[in-house]
Amino acid sequence: MKIHTDVTTLSKLYPIFQEAGIEGMLTGDLEKIRGYGYPELFAALLQTGGIPEVCALITRSETCVQPASKGKKPWDQCSREETMAVILAFFFSLIGLQAESQHLMNALQTALRQISS
């Protein structure tokens, strides 16, 4: 699964992040999110109900990462861990840590394969 950080994706994410009060993550205005760690960012998105839409936009997929044997699962049925991994990978990619982003996505896929075995 690929993480998208292009301008089109960021533009679609902006209203969701703005509603959550964390648009500084997209604009680079970190003053707007001073004191926020990952749990606070995730909580802000969780509070707005935007997590499934955020995951769908950044992956351009309506379903979360699943082993082939499990079929497809919509983002709103995915676990906290599944969505957190994708959102973290997005943030890593957004700040220029593409290798770390890909490593996180690979680790998620490996973990899901082990769970389904």
DSSP tally for the chain: helices H, then strands E? 6, 0
pLDDT at 3: 86
* 10-29: pLDDT as tens digits: 999 999 999 988 888 888 77
Tokens 């973290």 correspond to: 88
Length of the chain: 117
For the chain, the structural domain boundaries read 7-116
Q: What percent of the chain has pLDDT over 90?
A: 28
The whole-number pLDDT of residue 86 equals: 86
38 or 101, which is more confident? 38
Q: How confident is the model at residue 73 (pLDDT cuts 50, 70, 90)?
A: confident
Output 18 or 104, whichever has higher pLDDT: 18
Residue 58 confidence (pLDDT): 94
Q: What is the DSSP letter of 33?
A: G
Rounded to two decimals, the pTM is 0.77
Mean of the per-residue pLDDT values of the chain: 80
| CA-to-CA dists, residue 99 to 13, 94, 95, 103, 104, angstroms | 22, 12, 11, 6, 9
